[in-house]
Structures are given as structure tokens and as C-alpha cells.
Amino acid sequence: MKHDDLVGAGTSGERVVIEGHVLDGDGEPVPDAIIEIWQANSYGKYAHPEDQQDKPLEPSFSGYGRIPTDDEGQFRFTTIKPGPVPDLDGKFQAPHIVVSVFARGLLRRLVTRIYFSDEPANATDFVLNLVEASRCETLIAKKIAGVSGKLEWNVILQGPNETVFFDCGL
């Protein structure tokens, strides 16, 4: 099942297209991976019953996507830049998208995040501050020069440029 456009008519927020590749440790494309994303809307509210924040929900925004890679390991989805959500201590996190990666050869899903370049809140984000500074770039979607609203973010499964993955105990 493909669900790569999270934005319906009338959805608030800054629309973005995020595209990239899933690559193995040798830099070869992974043609049968699945990327699942989960995110808050532009107000910072998840479309989930456990999110009890007093912020508006938008019926035109699902907050969830499932995108398969093509034969070249490429994926693409359209969404909005999410608003800030509170962490467990009530401090706001930088806008981000939660990502799960599924692929053959993986016994468990891999969990990571996408952050946005030029976002001032990245400097104080609790999760980003847990990551070694030299590795944070693997979590940042880069603007594509000359194309408004289009970002690139790749998943590298192994090797020296491996994407940072988080152990969520699942």
C-alpha cells in the first residue's frame, strides 16, 4: 500500500516534498524497502488519541505515510513541515518526522528521524543533542538548490555514513 501524499486540500502549513534513496553499505540501492513516516501537523498535534494537546486537528492531514522504494531505491513523499511537539518534560522538540525503515534482511524495523535544515530549534532538540555532532547531518533533510519546497534525505543502512538509528526496544 502506497500513501505518499499526506496533504489534503486546505491543510495548513509549509508544504514540502522529501525525496531520497535507501542505500546499503556498499552504496547500492535497496529496491524493496518500505519507509513509514509519522508526524504532527503544522500546529504540532498528532492525529492520535493519546495526543491530548489543546491544538487543532486537521481532517485533511493524515500525519502518516507509507512509501515503497522503486528499483533504484528511491522514495518521495509530500507533506508539511510539522510544528513543534513537547518532549516528556514538556520542552518543545524541533520540528521532525519519525521514520521507520523496513527491508529484506532486517529482523527489526529501523527507527530514525528527519529534521529540517536551517531550523533554529535543532540546536536545543533533546534527541539531536544525544547524537554525536559529526553524525547529526544524517538526520537533516537538505534543501535542493533552486527548487522551492523540495528536500533530499537519504537512508544509508551501513558504513561510515550510516544514518543514525534509534533503539526503541521494539
CATH code for the domain of 115: 2.60.130.10
pLDDT in tens, the chain (170 residues): 678 999 999 999 999 999 999 999 999 999 999 999 999 999 999 999 899 999 999 999 989 999 999 999 999 999 999 999 998 888 999 999 999 999 988 888 999 999 999 899 999 999 999 999 999 999 999 999 888 899 999 999 999 999 999 987 54
Domain encompassing residue 70: 15-156
Instruction: Give the integer Cα–Cα distance in Å for 70 and 34.
Output: 10
The verdict on residue 87 lying in a domain is: yes
Cell numbers at residue 101, please?
A: 525503515
Q: Structural domain tally of the chain?
A: 1
For 75-121, the pLDDT digits (tens) are: 999 999 999 999 888 899 999 999 999 998 888 899 999 999 989 99
First to last CA, the chain: 22
Q: Evaluate whether residue 161 is within a structural domain.
A: no
